[in-house]
Amino acid sequence: MSTTQMIKSDVSEALHLFEVMGKYNVPCSLELKLDGLCDPFVGISTQPVKAEYLETFDGEGRGDSLIVHLGGSEFCFELNLSVSKHITDCQITLCIVSDKYAAWFSSDVILPEGIEDAKDYKEAEDYHGEPRDITMDVTKQENELIEFVRTLDFGDTINATAALYSEAEKVRGTRNASRPELTVEFIECARRLDELSKLIAMANDDYRSEISIMEKD
């Protein structure tokens, strides 16, 4: 029986490898195993994949995360983990491990030029520092959203973020006595509304300047 020799990697390179899979439209499968269990806890066959780095601004002690979107599923990995890789002449394998689980991502067959791109990774700035310079395909609708956000003045930004924060507070307080498991979904929805509010705010030059002045005071 052959043994796969994994090579130590990091979150930044994992993002690069997921980007390569997306660039060449190569689907990916997942096998998630929990510590102490022999059988996989989650198994997903080949699905489109993309990943992103989520930076936390809330100051509440929750760390930044690696988010992997696989088909209709989303997996959030906090950064207290280790990453390893194995790249053959036609496939990429990534393993993300914590003390509680091991997540194995395996690509479908990749063209030789995709493998070249995967191996051509140049170490970026630390992912805790400045954002990486990542080329991203943007749809017409996404571009319209970006252009509109750039037109918002300070007052517009305050009003928009206040409305989102208010809605997040309403969602956070929602309870369903007959289906208590939905509470987790409400909490996650509120978190995403909070994150959207912060991203809109930090995209505004006047808002950032105001925050900078307040921090100096």
Per-residue pLDDT of the chain (217 residues; tens, 9 = 90+): 456 789 999 888 999 999 999 999 999 999 998 876 766 678 899 999 999 988 765 444 445 788 999 998 888 888 778 999 999 999 999 999 988 889 999 999 999 999 999 998 875 444 444 445 545 567 888 888 888 888 989 899 999 999 998 998 888 777 655 555 556 677 778 888 888 988 898 888 888 888 766 655 5
Domain locations in the chain as residue ranges: 7-119, 140-216
pLDDT for residue 189? 83
Beta-carbon count within 10 A of 214 CB: 8
pTM of the model: 0.55
CATH of the domain spanning 7-119: 2.70.180
Return all residues near 200 (Cβ < 8 A) that are at least 6 apart.
149, 152, 157, 160, 161, 164
pLDDT, residue 61, reads 41
Distance CA 35, CA 22 (A): 29
Question: In this predicted structure, what is the pLDDT of residue 179?
Answer: 59
Q: Note the maximum CA span of the chain.
A: 65
Calculate the alpha carbon distances from 76 to 37, 41, 52, 136, 189 in Å: 21, 16, 10, 21, 14
Lookup result for tokens 């096998």: 31
